[in-house]
Amino acid sequence: MNNKSLCQLLFLMLGLSLFLCNCDTKTPDAKVESKTEIKSPSDVIPFLKEWTITLGDGSNIKKLENYQNKDFFYHTNDGEDWIVYKTPNSGGTTPNSSNTRTELHHQADWVPETGGRLTGTLKVQHVSTTGDARVAASYSVVVGQIHSGEGHKNEPLKIFYKKFPSHTKGSLFWNYEINPAGDNSKRWDYSTAVWGHDMSVVGTSPTSYPEEPKDGIALGEEFSYTIDVKDGIMQLTFSREGYETKKFTKSLVTSEYTSSSDIPEQVSTLYATLGRDGIEPPNAYAGELQFFKQGAYNQTNGKNPDDNLVWSTGSQTYNGDLKKQYANGSYTEVSFKKGTVEIYK
């Protein structure tokens, strides 16, 4: 074999070697592992950028985009995405309340003459299992509010869910709090049932419960509400699967309670021990700044019921120990999957 042929052979062998080496080292494309994204509450309901929140430890968070807190405010998924608001019976409180809350505060004020609209689709997962059955606020949570930002800073609307411990179904009701002339210590709430009982239906002893409501709402059962205020008139709409939609109308600028004779019997009975018999100016909340609130405003506390049979529930608080409260049913938990807010011009 001459030198030329030898060189050609070596060249062919080198090329074949490189080809085989390249084939041997070639590997299949790597599989890309997909990971489920953990969402924050602001991914569930984007309107959170318009709100701040007070948590169950009393802290206030001003920016809620991509924020969550494992103890009080977080995302969960049970086949659908939800925002969880969780609040112990005892924790940090705001200056005007002795009850804990994990609750949104909308940043835009409005007056009843212009108004606004708030909606929510939710389910109540838990309410405190301890309390005094004689006390109207026991075993309850507020899941939506209109709150006044000036004057007495009262609440023309609170939407409650309440369930007695031995019952399967609880009650949904809404309260109107008067805006008294003069001394605010005479204020009271008038309660209207949506499904189940109103707030005034209580037990005859600390451990005896009234009859369970036949049309009540169970824990974990979904329902929706709409609060719509325009031209001084508040319109409330409540809906749930399998039941007729309920609607209510209440003026926020013309009072129904301008004299002692206007005080409803429900109020006279419920607040009898407190001596609250205030009346309201004819224009009620007219011209007064308001804002929306939404979440879980726990209505149970460790205060002595003998001092106040409307609001002091005597619930177990474990000296404020968060873990013990959560482990022993001394908390409230509410989940929202939808919500919208609009302020009218």
Q: What digits encode the pLDDT tens for the residues 93-146?
A: 877 778 999 999 999 999 999 999 999 999 999 999 999 999 999 999 999 999
The per-residue pLDDT for 160 is 98
Q: Quick one: pLDDT at residue 38? A: 64
Residue 72 has pLDDT above 70, yes or no: yes
DSSP codes of every residue in 240-270: -TTS--EEEEEESSS-S-SSGGGS-HHHHHH
Average pLDDT for residues 4-11, to the nearest whole number?
45
Query: CA-to-CA distance for 133 and 314, rounded, in angstroms?
Result: 10
Q: Mind listing the pLDDT tens digit for each residue in 216-270?
A: 999 999 999 999 999 999 999 999 999 999 999 999 999 999 999 999 999 999 9
- Tell me the C-alpha distance between 174 and 194, whole Å: 7
Q: Is the pLDDT of residue 282 over 90?
A: yes
pLDDT at 92: 86
Global pTM reads 0.89
For the domain spanning 38-343, the CATH number is 2.60.120.200
Token pair 């409803």 in the structure block, residue: 264
State mean pLDDT over 179-203: 96
Task: Provide the H-helix boundaries in 32-83.
Answer: 41-44
pLDDT tens by residue, 206-218: 999 999 999 999 9
**pLDDT at residue 343, rounded to an integer:** 98
Q: Is the pLDDT of residue 311 over 80?
A: yes
For residue 296, is pLDDT > 90? yes
The H or E element that residue 9 is part of is helix 3-25
For residue 19, is pLDDT > 70?
Answer: no
pLDDT at 17 over 60: no
Q: Give yes or no for residue 159 having a pLDDT over 90.
A: yes
CA angle 271, 273, 274 (to 5 degrees): 65
- Model confidence at 81: pLDDT above 70: yes
Q: Which H or E run includes 11?
A: helix 3-25
Confidence label for 27 from pLDDT (cuts 50, 70 and 90): very low
Strands 81-88 and 101-106, by their bridges, are unpaired
Cα separation, 300 vs 286, whole angstroms? 31
- Is the pLDDT at 199 greater than 80, yes or no? yes
